[in-house]
Amino acid sequence: MAARIRRVKACLNGQRDPAEHPAVPVTPAQLAVAAAGAVAAGAEAVHVHPRGGDGRQSLRAHDVGAAVAAIRGVIPRVPVGVTTGLWVTGDPVMRRDEVAEWADLAPEQRPDFASLNLSEAGWPELMAMLDEMGVGVEAGVWSVRDAELAAGSGAADWLRILVEVSGTPAAEATIRADEILARLGAVGVTAPIVLHGEGESCWPLVAHAGLLGLATRIGLEDVLTGPRGEAVDDNAELVRLALVEWTVAPSG
């Protein structure tokens, strides 16, 4: 399932722990509830970081399959994606071996797409492996250099380009994003773009994405408060707020 995201994708948990926010979902059942709520609020796809029985992030086939199947059980027609973040295993070879086992998952357990950060070692091999499995690949582009890599091998096969700005003050977020977007255009990358940030840069880039007509991403992975620093109940509330920020052009 490779439906285009036109407005918002929900990122439900990331590396977060429930100690950071009580609504961070960890178990497959919690992820399913959070996914259903986010989609009801307007999300067009969901991205999750599956966990093992110890609560830690996992790329093992059993854990990925359990998370995906639980989510599909409540939103069967919505694309479900997962991380391949190198930090999960800490080793490119271990990551490759664990992702390779996804090929043995039943169709209802296999993700529709996976994000692959181009700043991480081993991404070309992993991209080819995921493509062979029929799993769409989103390129995680965090810098101008990553934008150039996205134009290299397999550029025509990207499902989406995730332009992510993190560790940047809010006032500089759109400048950084525009530099990356300009480079993507210059090197001829034509895949659909999802523009988003983390922390301080999150909400400015939700609004900037709307202004540019690009899709965005929101969820407790990226931010724990609303656009004016207000407390939020859960991922569904963040999706609702993001749709407002994405739709209403900034004043001034």
pLDDT digits 0-9 by tens, 62-104: 999 999 999 999 999 999 999 999 999 999 999 999 999 999 9
Q: pTM for the full model?
A: 0.95
Sign (positive or negative) of CA dihedral 28, 96, 177, 21 = positive
Count of Cβ atoms closer than 10 Å to residue 112 Cβ: 20
**pLDDT band, very low/low/confident/very high, at 2 (cuts 50, 70, 90):** low
Tokens representing residue 142 in the block = 């965090």
- The H or E element containing residue 237 is helix 235-247
Tokens representing residue 115 in the block = 């994000």
Summary mean pLDDT of the chain: 94
Q: Count Cβ atoms within 10 A of the Cβ of residue 252 and give its class: 0-12 exposed, 13-18 middle, 19 or more buried.
A: exposed
3, pLDDT greater than 90: no
251, pLDDT greater than 50: no
CB neighbour list of residue 123: distance below 8 Å, 6 or more residues apart: 116, 117
pLDDT for residue 252: 41
Residues 88 and 95: their CA atoms lie apart, in Å, by 8
Supply the DSSP symbol for 251: P
In CATH terms, the fold of domain 8-247 is TIM Barrel (3.20.20)
Mean pLDDT for the stretch of residues 26-32: 98
pLDDT for residue 155: 55
Least confident of 43-47, 114-118, 150-154, 196-200: 150-154
Q: So where are the chain's domains?
A: 8-247
- List pLDDT tens digits, range 112-166: 999 999 999 999 999 999 999 999 999 999 999 999 999 886 556 899 999 999 9
